[in-house]
């Protein structure tokens, strides 16, 4: 049986993080204060960092690359990882190999992460279309990863989030305006948290050489033309993707997960107009028979995979040297490295499928801190948690309040964790938000 408390976020156990764990997690320290804090921690721990600018020694560069790899490895989605041993040497070696060129060239490490597409339109999962405290939890964890890289390598790292929602929202029945609102709120969140210099978010319209996303108000944006450009430039023909799915169990699992998503979503919105690929007939989903519905959902899943794969190839073209992170677990030693955006154990969850819940301070902790976890909205409401807001900026000045839920009593925490334990056995699904 899974212990309910196992869902609480776990933090990697580096010296920096042990010290950082004493900082309040509900306040977002500015980059400047983090830097001051890190300098203090370095002095207190007696650790001397390598002196860059004088790195001519290959062995020293390799050692640094390995420390950076270990720092990143600590953020792995361990629940879904396929590694057979702790501190997996295969994964750490693989990461170190890709970090080494940055260290030898003495430049900041470049990290890329596809994800943060849009908020799921399911009211059982999220509270709206804007980024909220759930995204803040994920961004705080990503910031912690960047801090740990900087701890090992003073040149530090930059992260680019490649928001993939624009590339497949048309398949998921999410409108482009919702994608735009989400992107805008994510940029506001990064800006107010003073992280825009460390983490940036880009979308299809920032890259595609077609359409005019910055046209005057009232001018329609040409999102479909941008998606056409993406598929014409990077897309694979659907029959090739079908063949690849049949040959690869991992792709097959991904395909089934996306198909299941489409089925659940359309069953919840039966008036949605869909097209049967066999007859080219367009009708409300509810007017098709069972066989046609399965065919339609399978085709939509295939289109979603085609867009996601094209988006992945675009990222490779845009940032060929960058170290690629993923919100999905990847095979041991893979070129892409699967991280957890929450640090929670158990079934992985992303902020665009969830709400943030703040648990009460722990009185027995040496430096009492609050803890935030991500759960589907329906679970938070079933546990009787109260919807509230958290100020993004510590002073609350000129910063939007971010929606979240709060558990005020030990009983409500216990109920929430116990509901989470009951859902833990459900199979992991993909990131495509219905």
Residues lying near Zn ion in the complex (CB under 5 A): 83, 88, 90-91, 332
Please enumerate in sequence order all residues whose Cβ is within 8 A of that of 124, keeping only pairs 6 or more positions apart, or say none.
Answer: 376, 377, 378
CB of 75 to Zn ion, least distance (A): 13
Rounded to a whole number of angstroms, the minimum distance from the CB of residue 334 to Zn ion is 8
Of residues 12, 2, 20, 6, the one with CA closest to residue 339 = 12
Is the CB of 13 or the CB of 247 nearer to Zn ion? 13
CB of 250 to Zn ion, least distance (A): 15
**CB closer to Zn ion, 332 vs 419:** 332
Q: How far is the CB of 270 from Zn ion (least distance, A)?
A: 43
The least distance separating Zn ion from the CB of residue 430, rounded to whole angstroms, comes to 21
- CB closer to Zn ion, 288 vs 337: 337
Which residue's CB is nearer to Zn ion, number 42 or number 80?
Answer: 80
Residue placing its CB nearer to Zn ion in the complex, 82 or 219 = 82
Residues contacting 312, CB < 8 A, separation 6+: 114
Phi, psi of 76 (to 5 degrees): -60, 145
Q: Which lies closer to Zn ion via its Cβ, residue 82 or residue 275?
A: 82
- Long-range CB pairs of 172-180 (<8 Å, 24+ gap) are 172/262, 172/265, 172/304, 172/432, 172/433, 172/434, 173/121, 173/265, 173/266, 173/269, 173/272, 173/434, 174/118, 174/121, 174/433, 176/221, 176/223, 178/118, 178/119, 178/121, 178/129, 179/117, 179/118, 179/203
Which residues, 6+ apart, have CB-to-CB distance to 434 below 8 Å? 120, 121, 122, 172, 173, 261, 262, 264, 265, 268
Q: Which is nearer to Zn ion, 15 or 332 (CB)?
A: 332
CB of 96 to Zn ion, least distance (A): 13
Cβ proximity of 192 and 401 under 8 Å: no
Is the Cβ–Cβ distance between 314 and 233 less than 8 Å? Answer: yes
- In terms of CB distance, is 65 or 91 closer to Zn ion? 91
Output b/e per residue, 81-105; b: 16+ Cβ within 10 A.
bebeeeebeebbebbbebbbebbee
Q: Please, what is the minimum distance in Å from the beta carbon of residue 333 to Zn ion?
A: 6
Q: How far is the CB of 80 from Zn ion (least distance, A)?
A: 12
Give yes or no for a contact between 327 and 113, defined as CB atoms under 8 angstroms apart.
Answer: yes
Length of the chain, in residues? 434
């Amino acid at each position: 049986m899974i212990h309910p408390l196992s869902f609480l976020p776990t933090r990697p156990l580096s010296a920096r993080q042990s010290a950082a764990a004493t900082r309040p997690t509900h306040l977002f320290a500015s980059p400047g204060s983090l830097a001051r804090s890190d300098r203090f921690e370095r002095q207190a721990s007696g650790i001397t960092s390598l002196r860059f600018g004088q790195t001519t020694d290959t062995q020293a560069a390799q050692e640094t690359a390995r420390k950076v790899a270990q720092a990143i490895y600590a953020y792995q989605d361990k629940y879904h990882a396929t590694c057979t041993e702790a501190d997996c040497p295969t994964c750490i070696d693989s990461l170190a190999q890709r970090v080494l060129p940055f260290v030898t060239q003495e430049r900041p490490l470049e990290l890329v992460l596809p994800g943060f597409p849009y908020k799921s339109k399911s009211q059982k999962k999220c509270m709206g279309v804007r980024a909220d405290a759930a995204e803040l939890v994920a961004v705080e964890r990503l910031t912690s990863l960047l801090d740990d890289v900087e701890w090992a390598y003073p040149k530090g790292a930059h992260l680019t989030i490649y928001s993939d929602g624009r590339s497949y929202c048309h398949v998921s029945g999410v409108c482009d305006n919702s994608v735009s609102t989400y992107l805008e709120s994510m940029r506001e969140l990064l800006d107010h948290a003073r992280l825009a210099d460390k983490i940036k978010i880009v979308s299809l319209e920032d890259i595609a050489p077609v359409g005019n996303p910055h046209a005057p108000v009232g001018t329609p944006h040409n999102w479909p033309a941008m998606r056409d450009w993406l598929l014409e430039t990077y897309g694979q023909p659907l029959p090739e993707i079908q063949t690849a799915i049949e040959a690869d169990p991992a792709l097959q699992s991904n395909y089934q997960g996306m198909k299941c998503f489409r089925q659940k979503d359309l069953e919840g919105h039966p008036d949605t107009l869909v097209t049967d690929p066999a007859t080219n007939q367009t009708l409300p989903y509810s007017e098709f028979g069972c066989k046609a519905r399965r065919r339609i959902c399978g085709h939509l899943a295939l289109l979603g995979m085609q867009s996601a794969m094209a988006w992945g190839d675009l990222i490779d073209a845009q940032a060929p040297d960058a170290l690629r992170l993923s919100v999905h677990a990847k095979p041991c030693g893979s070129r892409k490295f699967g991280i957890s955006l929450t640090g929670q154990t158990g079934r992985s969850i992303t902020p665009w499928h969830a709400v943030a819940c703040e648990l009460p301070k722990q009185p027995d902790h040496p430096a009492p801190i609050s803890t935030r976890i991500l759960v589907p909205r329906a679970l938070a409401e079933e546990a009787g948690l109260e919807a509230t807001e958290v100020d993004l900026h510590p002073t609350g000045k000129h910063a939007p309040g971010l929606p979240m839920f709060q558990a005020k009593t030990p009983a409500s925490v216990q109920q929430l964790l116990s509901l989470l334990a009951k859902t833990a056995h459900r199979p992991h699904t993909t990131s495509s938000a219905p």
